[in-house]
A and B are shown apart, each in its own frame.
Chain A
Amino acid sequence: MPIDFWAGWVAVLTIVSLIGFAWVIYGAYFGGKSVEGDEESPTVWDENLREGAHPPPMWWFWAMLASLVFTLIYLILYPGLGSFSGAFKWSQGGELEERLVEHASTFGSRRDEIARMTIASIRQDELLMRAAQRVYDRQCAACHGLDAQGQADMFPNLRDDAWQWGSSPEAIETSIRSGRHGIMVGWRSSLNRAEASQLAQYTLALAKSKPSVHPGKAKFEELCAACHTTAGTGSTALGAPDLTNGVYTYGGGVLEIKETILYGREGIMPAFGDVLDDMQIRLLVAWLTRDV
């Protein structure tokens, strides 16, 4: 069905309705004789409203005339009559475009300025840090927690020194902008229960005594060292966590670690490059790397 048909449909129906409306008003007040009611002593409401068919009170006339005039002016100025876009050429999209331009011209230069500030100077600016916290609260807290200390044995703590993908401002910015996808494969086809327990014990031991002799050591070097390194210090390039710092995103008990080893883990940090602008990302990086 061509869109023009419906535009015409809307326009014609609107105009015909308005003409009908005007005809009823005109006819009721000036077009004919009143029809008297049957009552002998008629009751009168609202100045001159009586039994029978009479013109309604005059203030109704003025109210309806005013609404008719308003409608006509509105339909001339704004879109309403089918595809006629109105004298003002107003549209929702155009209005939004204008607001966006206004927003950019009001705040754009200041936001660009902040986006180019050094991390150190942002950290010294209390107002900016407060703004950064608001960005964090809105965009990050749902997963990483209101205090940024991680939660649900799944979302990493952002207040400690352990950064799976690197702790430099650049690495953190990349994590925010492009997201991260961490995958640890499960090893249940390569391990029996006893070996998995030994491996879990050894993994935990890496953070404490770093034993040179351990029943889980051989399996660790065979299966885990490729990503986590022989010393267990991990690789920020691969997103393989450091196992010597005692930080365990998915829980640090033997059972949890055994589960990780057997079934693997998958962690997704969504990309915020489209959601946040450069300034907001800069503020977040400064806030996340601040000294507490």
Chain B
Amino acid sequence: MNVLGLHKKLEENSGLLIFGILFVSSIGGLVQVLPSIFEDELITPTAETRPYGALELIGRDIYIREGCSTCHSQQVRPLLAEVKRYGPFSSAGESAYDRPFLWGSKRTGPDLHRIGAKFSDAWQRVHLIDPRSVVPNSIMPAYPWLAANAADPRNNIQTRLRRLRLLGHPYSDDAISNAPDLVANKTELDAIVAYLAVLGEAAGSGEEMAH
């Protein structure tokens, strides 16, 4: 077919033009995005990855609510300097139970994907309530209200777990029925500290990057 003639036809027929534009611009998505939704390697949890516990899950929601991922990434890239500084690089399977994933792309603060074992819970609590009490030159905001708020004020942790189970997260009936006990009398601070404590637990031993 005559390409220049096709061009004339497209220009004169806006419906055809819209279809043509959508078709061409969808190719990138079809090649890059679509396969990653189905590729086993990207969606299968690594051997050490497990679904979040009830309190950790609430902590994760608070992490999202407070916008932590605007300043902290959760992806250690496969680069020498990052692996030396943070530990084993992140793999896609580690985010299999993250909906949505919190990889982030901005590091005003450090990456948090391997933060779990680095600090005691006591430090995390002090630091979240008043970062400058332990790191004088920190520019992180303080989050004192976390200690005052109940972790699950609407008492809907079971609903949250059931919805995730619909999406394929392997929560047992026991895990769901025990969940309210696990979060009762806990504060948001307890929850987010519990979440931070398990970050990086799933570092793949297969790709252990010893320093």
Q: Which residues of A contact B (CB under 8 A)?
A: 1, 3, 6, 9-10, 13-14, 17, 23-24, 26-28, 31-35, 52-55, 92-93, 95-96, 99-100, 103, 141-143, 145-146, 151-152, 154-155, 266-271, 274-277
A-B contact pairs, 12 of them (CB 8 A): A1-B40, A23-B3, A27-B2, A28-B3, A33-B4, A52-B8, A53-B5, A96-B80, A99-B79, A145-B134, A268-B122, A277-B211
- On whether the beta carbons of A100 and B209 are closer than 8 Å, the reply is yes
- On whether the beta carbons of A142 and B119 are closer than 8 Å, the reply is yes
Known A-B contacts A13-B31, A32-B2, A100-B209; the reply to A53 vs B122 at CB < 8 A is: no
- List of A residues within 8 angstroms of B30 by Cβ: 9, 13
Q: Which residues of B contact A (CB under 8 A)?
A: 1-8, 11, 27, 30-31, 34-35, 38-41, 78-80, 83-84, 87, 89, 117-123, 126-127, 133-136, 207, 209, 211
- On whether the beta carbons of A32 and B5 are closer than 8 Å, the reply is yes
- On whether the beta carbons of A270 and B2 are closer than 8 Å, the reply is no
- List of A residues within 8 angstroms of B118 by Cβ: 270, 275
Contact of A142 among B11, B41, B123 (CB under 8 A): B123
Contact of A35 among B4, B27, B127, B135 (CB under 8 A): B4
- On whether the beta carbons of B3 and A31 are closer than 8 Å, the reply is yes
| A117 and B82 alpha carbons, distance in the complex (Å) | 28
- On whether the beta carbons of A155 and B209 are closer than 8 Å, the reply is no
| A194 and B120 alpha carbons, distance in the complex (Å) | 33
| A284 and B178 alpha carbons, distance in the complex (Å) | 45
Task: For residue A48, give the distance in angstroms from its CB to the closest CB of chain B.
Answer: 14
- On whether the beta carbons of B2 and A3 are closer than 8 Å, the reply is no
Known A-B contacts A33-B2, A35-B4, A142-B134; the reply to A155 vs B38 at CB < 8 A is: no
- List of B residues within 8 angstroms of A271 by Cβ: 117
New contact pairs (17) apart from A154-B123, A268-B120, CB-CB < 8 Å: A6-B38, A9-B34, A13-B27, A27-B3, A27-B4, A27-B6, A28-B3, A32-B5, A35-B7, A53-B8, A96-B78, A100-B80, A143-B119, A143-B134, A269-B120, A270-B119, A271-B117
| A259 and B113 alpha carbons, distance in the complex (Å) | 36
- On whether the beta carbons of A274 and B135 are closer than 8 Å, the reply is no
